[in-house]
């Protein structure tokens, strides 16, 4: 008899599964995710390849009885079919609770290993991932829709930041060779156990340029600049840091703020909806500072820490 324990309910619903023989797994159901089946196939194929081809510790997808890496289940409550996947359990604590420069160096080394892998790995037939060449990463733009939290002043700043970030992304992608990226390597998607790092939540993986992984991670590390520096140092110990100007790098950092604001405007999750008023004001202050200085910061007067 398996025991289910709810771990998270947001864009996905994730359970811990404990079986009668003592095995542990993570069951993920794509409850609110916009992920296509082709993208799900790509994610599962990459995780399976990483498990077999590299030493990177990832949640190995478990096959169904008929050999597939994911399943589809009908939800009577939602009236639709939901994709589901079962993964090997990763022990340890989220790195958010135990981040140090030494551990962020390991994150950088692991990120470099992921990039080295997808330089030579190809998506299988029937699999596809979204491109990461636009501000909102191939998701619908809700920032242009009427919303009480997007006052005239906030909308003006958001619109200007959106245009500036897209301009920098266009220059970053011009002539660049793209590859598969994790695209969400923040501290809550990393675990540390007995001196070893593991990486999970590949749900947002897409096709972009390597500097995006570094800059997206930096969004969550700031203002702890010693952690951001350690991330870069760890990466550079394995392979050269990706080519990008400082303006391009900061634009990718700022883009993560726009992505999260865009998602919060339409999230069905009550806990996340409650954050929106504070997050919208935070974004206004941070993006205004970014437009004025070219640098994205969280530690500004009047901002409130949410994460």
Domain residue extents for the chain: 3-92, 95-293
Question: Is residue 307's pLDDT more than 80?
Answer: no
The DSSP annotation for the chain comes to --EEEEEEESSSEEEEEE-TTS-EEEEEE-SS----HHHHHHHHHHHHHHHHH-S-B--PBPP-TTS-S-EEEEETTTTEEEEEEEEE---SEEGGGS--HHHHHHHHHHHHHHHHHHHH--PPTT----B--STTTTS---TTS--TTS-HHHHHHHHHHHHHHHHHHHHHHTTPPPEEE-----GGGEEEETTEEEE---TT-EEE-THHHHHHHHHHHTT-HHHHHHHHHHHHTTSPPPP--HHHHHHHHHHHHHHHHHHHTT---HHHHTTHHHHHHHHHHHHHHHHHHS---S--TT-----
Candidate from 36-40, 180-184, 222-226, 259-263 with smallest mean pLDDT: 36-40
CATH code that applies to domain 3-92: 3.30.200.20
Q: Model-level pTM?
A: 0.93
Instruction: Determine the pLDDT at residue 133.
Output: 97
Nearest one of 30, 11, 15 to 81, comparing CA atoms: 30
Cβ neighbourhood burial of 240 (10 Å; 0-12, 13-18, 19+): exposed
Higher pLDDT, 84 or 12: 84
pLDDT digits (tens, 9 = 90+) for 197-248: 999 999 999 999 999 999 999 999 999 999 999 999 999 999 999 999 999 9
**Matching CATH topology for 3-92 and 95-293?**
no
Instruction: Determine the pLDDT at residue 1.
Output: 54
Q: Which CATH class is domain 95-293?
A: alpha beta
């Amino acid at each position: 008899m398996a025991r289910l324990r709810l771990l998270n309910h947001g864009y996905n619903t994730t359970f811990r599964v404990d079986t009668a023989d003592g095995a542990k797994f993570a069951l993920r159901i794509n409850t609110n995710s916009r992920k296509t089946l082709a993208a799900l196939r790509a994610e599962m194929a990459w995780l399976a390849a990483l498990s077999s081809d590299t030493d990177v510790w990832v949640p190995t997808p478990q096959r169904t009885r008929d050999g597939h890496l994911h399943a589809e289940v009908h939800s009577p409550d939602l009236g639709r079919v939901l994709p589901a996947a079962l993964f090997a359990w990763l022990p340890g604590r989220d790195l958010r609770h135990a981040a140090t420069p030494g551990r962020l160096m390991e994150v950088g080394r692991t990120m470099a290993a992921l990039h080295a892998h997808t330089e030579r790995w190809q998506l299988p037939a029937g699999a596809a991932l979204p491109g990461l060449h636009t501000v909102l990463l191939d998701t619908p733009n809700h920032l242009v829709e009427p919303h009480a939290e997007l006052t005239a002043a906030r909308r003006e700043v958001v619109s200007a930041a959106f245009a500036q970030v897209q301009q920098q992304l266009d220059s970053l992608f011009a002539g660049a060779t793209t590859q598969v990226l994790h695209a969400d390597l923040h501290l809550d998607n990393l675990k540390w156990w007995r001196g070893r790092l593991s990486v999970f939540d590949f749900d947002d993986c897409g096709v972009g340029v390597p500097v995006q992984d570094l800059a997206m991670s930096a969004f969550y590390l700031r203002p702890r600049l010693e952690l951001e520096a350690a991330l870069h140092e760890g990466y550079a110990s394995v392979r050269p840091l990706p080519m990008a100007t400082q303006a391009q790098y900061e634009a990718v950092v700022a883009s993560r703020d726009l992505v999260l604001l865009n998602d919060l405007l339409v999230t069905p999750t009550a806990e996340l909806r409650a954050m929106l008023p504070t997050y919208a004001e935070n974004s206004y202050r941070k993006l205004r500072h970014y437009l004025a200085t070219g640098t994205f910061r969280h530690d500004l007067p009047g901002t409130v820490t949410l994460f």
